[in-house]
Amino acid sequence: MSRSSDAARQRRLAVIVGALVVVAIALVLFTGPLKPGNSTTTAAAPASTTAAGSTTTGQPKPAADTAPPLATGSYTGPVPILMYHVIAAPTASTPFAELWTPPETFKATVDLLKNDGYRGVTLGQVWKAWHGGPGLPPKPVVVSFDDGYLSHFVSARPILRAAGWPGVLNLEGKNIGPGELYTWQVKALLAAGWEVDSHTMTHPDLTTLGDAAMRTELVDSRKLLQQKFGIPVDFFCYPSGKNDARVRAAVQAAGYQAATTVDPGIASKSDNPYQLPRIRVNGTDSAASVAARVKSGNGVVGGY
């Protein structure tokens, strides 16, 4: 092959490469530098399935929620505290299916209560109203969720947001992370006006623990939430409601102002602050039956 042919081929190659460089520069100038997430086709991140029956990639998303205005008034009397667990429909093989409330039923309950004049408040608002702070609306109700499940973010949050109500999340330390609630999801709940309280680190029967193990469950769980989310964590929720005089004294010593149980009733200022009753909601309860319990304080004994 002649030298002139080689030279010609090299010149053609140089022209092609130059043209490609010009095109690449033009694309960058027109669209901006390519960054992760800018591509029109990206591989889907692996999803994690939780006990709440929903999936999430766990990737942070901008929190669009803002806290609703505080529901205020001059009321300082008793306040019903509802107790929920998973907000999702159970399957035929779901263990403890009574703890699973379908989102449709939960929404119907919130709508019915709101139409009847009730307004959602946090336990912190109730405590302040009972101790000289701003009062509450005439018909306040606390909607609390135990343990910390993905369904609290996926299902309960938008339903309460639509009502303009906050929720109260009694969060176990071990439920922060893959499989349940990611840190960014808890922060999004806080941004939406929710209150986050301690439900221990591992959900044990506190009455069976020695002093050191109990301090770990009570003190370390509070410190974890305080440091991770920058919140006071003034309230505690007993796992399965198990408590006795020794446990209540330890809860008080750990710095909590009050604690909730699974004993039925409407909470009032005259109650022992470390034995506040709640109204348990089972998955088979209708909106009308829950509304009736909110008025009467009657409910199912027990919890998890």
Residues 179-212 have pLDDT tens digits of: 999 999 999 999 999 999 999 999 999 999 999 9
286 shares a domain with 185: yes
Tokens 């939960």, located at residue: 106
Q: In the predicted model, is pLDDT for residue 54 greater than 80?
A: no
Count CB neighbours of 162 within 10 A: 12
pLDDT in tens, 114-139: 999 999 999 999 999 999 999 999 99
161 shares a domain with 18: no
Report the alpha-carbon distance of residue 153 to residue 181 in Å, rounded.
Answer: 8
pLDDT mean across residues, the chain:
85
- What is residue 195's three-state secondary structure? strand
Nearest to 291 by CA among 157, 118, 79, 152: 118
140 shares a domain with 238: yes
Q: What is the model's pTM? A: 0.80
- What is residue 168's three-state secondary structure? strand
User: For 241-268, what is the mean pLDDT?
Assistant: 98
Structural domain harbouring 18: 1-32
| 157 CB burial (10 A radius; 0-12, 13-18, 19+) | buried
> Which amino acid is located at 67 in the chain?
A
Tokens 């193990």, located at residue: 213
227 shares a domain with 271: yes
165 shares a domain with 21: no
Q: Residue 297: left (phi > 0), alpha (psi -120 to 50), or beta?
A: left
